[in-house]
Amino acid sequence: MIPSTPQRPQVPALLLAAGRGERMRPLTDTTPKPLLAVQGQPLLQWHLQALHAAGVERVVINTAWLGEQISDRFSNVFGLQRLLDKRGELLISYSHEGLDFGGALETAGGIARALPQLGPVFWLAAGDVFAPDFVFDSAAVQAFEASGHLAHLWLVPNPAHNPKGDFGLSDQGLALNLPAGDPAPRYTYSTIALLRAELFAPPWCDIPPGNPGGIKAPLAPLLRRAMDNGRVSAEIYAGRWTDVGTPERLAELNR
């Protein structure tokens, strides 16, 4: 019998769940968008299940709008019953931007705030995206760590609500910040990525460590800056993917 190779330890993950969900109103007036039910369970739970199945042991969830509902729903442990492959529990901690600063810090601001709870490399995923086929693969982590890139993005074919896409993709697997008017194809950023904490330090980002002042900042400018320096890789994700951004998209998923 060939001895099994011990699985490489997984890196932690950050799930973004702080947004107000304006386009989902009135559904989000009383329920945070990541807790809206998709096929019988909270949207955020799909990511937690996938992370748990992949052997991830720690996840941070950032919250703002109605954030206490999210921490009340999931508490600090996910997966009390061990899986058949003996993977253990997924420990959950929170970065409560609403409690600390009165509102969400946008994506880069929120990531910078949560960094002390993460590590040098971590998974990122938005809590309002439905991607039930995505695998948080430890082999992808190992390849990313060996690459020296600052970010690795999963891109998807452009949905109807984003027909022009976000980023290009080179034959060498680099994400491209294409100039306006460039005819090369663009793809939509799925909001799933592997990131290095280094991306949130100079020269890429000037937010102080841990973002103690609650600076609000988007992620796209940091990614574009790193792309211009050849430091962001990407690949196409062909599985099911929906940005659950409107009540109509939610209804379609639940039909």
Residue 179 within a domain: no
Least confident of 5-14, 89-98, 124-133: 5-14
Residue 130 within a domain: yes
Measure CA of the first residue to CA of the last residue in the chain; give whole Å: 47
DSSP string computed for 129-141: EE-TT----HHHH
pLDDT the model gives residue 79: 62
Residue 91 within a domain: yes
Neighbouring C-beta atoms of residue 79, cutoff 10 Å: 16
CB contact set of 155 (below 8 Å; sequence gap of 6+): 166, 167, 169, 175, 187, 188, 189, 190, 234, 235, 236, 237
pLDDT of 109 above 90: yes
pLDDT the model gives residue 229: 96
Q: Domain of 117: which CATH number? A: 3.90.550.10
Residue 232, strand partner residues: 151
pLDDT the model gives residue 87: 57
Residue 171 within a domain: no
What is the average pLDDT value for the chain, to the nearest integer? 89
Does the bond joining 203 to the residue before it have cis omega, within 30 degrees of 0? yes
Residue 25 within a domain: yes
Q: How many domains does the structure of the chain reveal?
A: 1
198 against 29, higher pLDDT: 198
Reported as a single tens digit per residue, the pLDDT across 181-214 is: 899 999 999 999 999 999 999 999 999 999 999 9
* 211, burial (CB in 10 Å: exposed 0-12, middle 13-18, buried 19+): buried
Residue 164 within a domain: no
pLDDT of 161 above 60: yes
pLDDT of 1 above 70: no
pLDDT the model gives residue 72: 86
Residue 225 within a domain: no
Full residue range of the structural domain in which residue 112 is found: 13-153+189-217
pLDDT the model gives residue 177: 96
Q: What is the separation of C-alpha 204 from the centre of its chain, rounded to a whole number of angstroms?
A: 19
Model confidence band, residue 7 (pLDDT cutoffs 50, 70, 90): low
Residue 255 within a domain: no
pLDDT of 75 above 70: yes
Model confidence band, residue 85 (pLDDT cutoffs 50, 70, 90): very low
